[in-house]
């Protein structure tokens, strides 16, 4: 388990990063962190849903880190976690948070920006 850093402030994006963002299927590795509190059915479901999404869309270029706040409560402040479960997309920037058990795959994909939103189309 990696130690969580301080809250990451959204940085202004460079042109290069914007280019990457428009093409998320490139060689970038996704850093994902899932905050849970114990092995609740909801946590388990969230992890399963996340795993499924990643396998489908980011096969081979993602890392999932699961943080159990019951074991490491001090980590909740770092990413400003209130709701459980919360998925935090650390990379690629900008930081995104998706709250809930990721049951709705479509919404999860939009939240992760793996699928263009209505505006992007």
Partner 1 sequence: MSVRQKNASHQRKSTGTPTLPKAPTGIRGLDEITLGGFPRGRPTLICGSAGAGKTLLAMEFLVCGAIEYNEPGVFMAFEETAAELSQNVRSLGFDLDELARKKKLQVDYVRIERSEIDETGDYDLEGLFIRLGSAIASIGAKRVVLDTIENLFAGLQNQGILRAELRRLFRWLKDKGVSAVITAERGEGALTRHGLEEYVSDCVILLDHRVTDQVSTRRLRIVKYRGTAHGTNEYPFLIDEGGFSVLPVTSLRLDHPVSKERISSGVPRLDTMLGGDGFYRGSTILVSGTAGTGKTSLAAHFVDAACRRGERCLYFSFEESQAQLVRNMTSIGLNLEEWVKKKRLQFHSSRATFYGLEMHLSVIHKMIAEFRPHGVVLDPVGSLIQAGAARDTHTMLIRLIDFLKQKGITAFLTNLTSGGDALEKTNVEISSIVDTWLFMRDIELDGERNRALYVLKSRGMAHSNQLREFLLSRRGIELLDVYVGPEGVLTGSSRVSQEAREKANALERQQDTVRRERERRRKREVLEARIAALRKEFEVEEEEAESDRTQDLLRDKMINETREAIARSRKANSGDGRVPKKHEGAK
Cβ nearer to partner 1, comparing 13 with 37 = 37
Q: Pick the stretch among 18-26, 34-42, 57-65 that binds partner 1 (CB under 8 A).
A: 34-42
39 near partner 1, judged by CB under 8 A:
no
Residue 76 token pair: 């909740």
Distance CA 60, CA 6 (A): 27
Maximum Cα interatomic distance, the chain, rounded to a whole number of Å: 42
Contact 48, 103 (CB under 8 A): no
Contact 65, 2 (CB under 8 A): yes
| Nearest-5° Cα angle at 61, 59 to 65 | 100
Applying CB under 8 A, among 13, 66, 76, 91 the residue interacting with partner 1 is 76
Applying CB under 8 A, among 14, 26, 103, 116 the residue interacting with partner 1 is 103
73 near partner 1, judged by CB under 8 A:
yes
Residues that bind partner 1 (CB under 8 A): 7, 10, 35, 37, 42, 45-46, 49, 69-70, 73-74, 76-77, 80-86, 94-104, 107-108, 110-111
């Amino acid at each position: 388990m990696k130690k969580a850093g301080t809250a990451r402030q959204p940085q202004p994006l460079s042109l290069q990063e914007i280019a990457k963002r428009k093409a998320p299927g490139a060689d970038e590795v996704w850093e994902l962190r899932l905050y849970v509190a114990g092995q609740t059915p909801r946590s388990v479901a969230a992890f399963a849903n996340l795993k499924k999404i990643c396998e489908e869309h980011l096969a081979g270029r993602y890392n999932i880190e699961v943080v159990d706040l019951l074991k490491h409560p001090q980590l909740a402040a770092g990413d400003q976690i209130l709701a459980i479960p919360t998925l935090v997309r650390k990379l690629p920037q900008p930081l995104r948070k998706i709250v809930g058990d990721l049951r709705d795959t479509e919404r999860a994909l939009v939240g992760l920006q793996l699928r263009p939103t209505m505006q992007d189309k």
